[in-house]
Amino acid sequence: MSVDLPSPLTILIIRHAEKHGEIWPGPGLTREGKEDDKSLVIRGWERAGAWAALFGTLLGAEAYPRPSAIYAANPEAVSLDETSQRPFQTVIPLSERLGLTPITTHSAGQEATLVAEILHSSGILLISWEHRAISEKIAPGIAGEQKIEDLPQKWDETRYDVVLRFDRMSPDAPWSFCQLCPCLMSGDSQTPMAGFN
């Protein structure tokens, strides 16, 4: 007689790394160094490397576990979202370090199908996406009917340094949730973003 064991699921969500703007000037650059306004700025590529060190080694310990799968918005999708390259670029160093191919089957605008897929998974999943879609669609979609007080209602435009972490022991168990602020780079904050009141 076989016994069904629980299927634990941990979901780690990061915003794509830094882009061109008032805070981080300079052009967006492809991995090859070609200017591209849909790509990360130098600071963003530095953050991508910092995430690879945090999630890809023992540096992060238990709070930042090694992902078994990495999801990013499809960089080839035709979209009005001008950040479509950045979520994928953000996980390139980590995926290479871990020997994982990022799952890019979902595009910006397909957050509902992304959430449906990951909720039927187990293991440790890392998602890199655009910040508005994280706070408006992905995180609320994961939480479902469960009220999570610390879940941010809006992603602070200036924050690239936060990890949203969801954990559950089995598909019918409630989520535990926390915001993590690892302070990997100069200027990063230790303060979580505002959640539901």
pLDDT category at 119 given cuts 50, 70, 90 is very high
74 near 104, Cβ under 8 Å?
A: yes
Give the tens place of pLDDT for each residue, 132-175: 999 999 999 999 999 998 899 899 999 999 999 999 999 999 99
**Domains and their CATH numbers in the chain:** 11-180 (3.40.50.1240)
CA dihedral 77, 79, 81, 84 (to 10 degrees): 10
Q: Inform me whether the pLDDT recorded for 127 exceeds 90.
A: yes
The two tokens of residue 197 are 């009141």
Q: Inform me whether the pLDDT recorded for 51 exceeds 60.
A: yes
Q: Inform me whether the pLDDT recorded for 79 exceeds 80.
A: no
**CA dist., res. 33 & res. 31, Å (int):** 5
Within the chain, what is the greatest distance between any pair of CA atoms? 62
Give the tens place of pLDDT for each residue, 142-153: 999 999 988 998
pTM of the model: 0.92
